[in-house]
Amino acid sequence: MKVLVLDTSAFIMGFNPTRTGEVYTVPAVEDELLRGTMTQLRFHVNKEKGKVILRFPSPRALESVEAVSTRAGEKGHVSQADREVVALALDLKQDGQDPVIVSDDYAVQNMAEHLHLNYGSLANFGIAHKFDWIMYCPACHRRSKGPEKTCRICGTELKRKVLSRSKLSRDQPVK
């Protein structure tokens, strides 16, 4: 059964989960919403009506997402909520469901692509390539896979660049 997994950007873009079927998110998404805004109000109303199910991802799924975010070079560029959303989608897939992550965040889409998870966006076209990123030092040219901000050798601020990219061969589901 197809289910949706919403990240913070889905709520910010005004997604209203009124369709039939299950819609999930993680508690950390609620923490990212600005207090007292229409977005937060919409979130709470949908949660209270049971249209959005809050669920924590399993530790095993979180470990898988951490490994992929490190390998793909996204580790320092995604929030805890983003990692949990992707991990929850992994859990739902493991449970035999067909999760679709709804996110306009390219880093979330890239991690989903690396994990062979479906995703869709609301306000952009989504990613066209799967990327592997690397952090590098523009001064001493050393590479770093970690989320560090400065070079461990010379102290220069690290830059991010694409290590490899591959064109996506499948069409992504829309909304």
Can you tell me the distance from the alpha carbon of 95 to that of 102, in angstroms, rounded to the nearest whole number?
19
- Work out the pLDDT band at 137, boundaries 50, 70, 90: confident
Residues 6+ apart with CB under 8 A from 98: 1, 2, 3, 118
- Say if residues 111 and 86 touch (Cβ distance below 8 Å): yes
- Work out the pLDDT band at 173, boundaries 50, 70, 90: very low
Pairing verdict, β 98-102 and 118-120: parallel
Can you tell me the distance from the alpha carbon of 92 to that of 119, in angstroms, rounded to the nearest whole number?
13
The residue behind tokens 């220069």 is 156
Residue 108 pLDDT exceeds 70: yes
Fold topology of 2-124:
Rossmann fold (3.40.50)
**Domain spans in the chain, listed from the N-terminal domain onward:** 2-124, 128-169
Residue 137 in tokens: 């030092």
Per-residue model confidence as pLDDT tens digits over 52-86: 999 999 999 999 999 998 888 788 788 999 999 99
* Residue range 32-36: mean pLDDT, rounded: 89
* pTM summary value: 0.74
Q: Give, in order, the Cα–Cα distances in Å from 82 to each of 19, 31, 62, 121.
A: 23, 12, 11, 14
Three-state SS at 55: coil
